Structure 1
């Protein structure tokens, strides 16, 4: 693992958002959802593709707070233009568990 400086870390905009919609990403090669994530007034709502279908249903995702990188360049994923990267961790089976705050915080709050 390479060390980074604190200044390198500060370049990554990890922000809290609320999932406002989740639907099956039918065109994805691997099972995934299309998420709409609201980061508050300053950042707005952004789309993302997330391979989290093994542990979550669309219904339980709506309303959930998540941590996402909002300053990556947009990325074309099939017909979807992904505008943020929702973060998570692989469990022992390789299924992705979302990285979430354990208490309510305002939308758009930056991880520091």
Structure 2
């Protein structure tokens, strides 16, 4: 494993957001959803493609808090311009479980 400095870590903007909408990303090569995530008044709502279809349905994602990287460059994913990277972990079956706070925190709060 490569080590990084604390200054390197500080460059990554991991923030809490709330999913405000989730829909099937029909044009994606692998099963995915299009998420709209609200990061509060300073960052606003950002779009993301998330390959989390094995463990979540769109309707149960709405209202869920998630942790996302918000300072990557925007990335074209098929017809979608992804504006953030929602984080998660692969389980033993290779399915992605979202990284979520276990308590309510204000939208836009930075992970440190």
TM score, norm. by length of structure 2: 1.00
Query: What is the match of residue 32 of structure 2?
Result: 32
- In 2, Cα distance between the equivalents of 1:15 and 1:70? 7
Question: In the TM superposition, what are the counterparts of 1:64-83 in structure 2 within 5 Å?
Answer: 64-83=64-83
SS at match of 1:22: strand
Query: What is the match of residue 43 of structure 1?
Result: 43
The two structures, once aligned, show a CA RMSD in angstroms of 0.2
Are 1:2 and 2:2 counterparts?
yes
Query: What is the match of residue 109 of structure 1?
Result: 109
Which sections of structure 1, spanning at least 5 residues, go unmatched?
A: none
> Can you list the C-alpha shifts for 1:44-86, whole angstroms capped at 9, x where unaligned?
0000000000000001000000000000000000000000000
Q: CA deviation at 1:95?
A: 0.1
Which sections of structure 2, spanning at least 5 residues, go unmatched?
A: none
> Can you list the C-alpha shifts for 1:12-45, whole angstroms capped at 9, x where unaligned?
0000000000000000000000000000000000
SS at match of 2:60: helix
TM score, norm. by length of structure 1: 1.00
Are 1:93 and 2:93 counterparts?
yes
Count of aligned pairs: 112
SS at match of 1:101: coil
Q: Moved runs in structure 1, 4+ residues, more than 4 A?
A: none
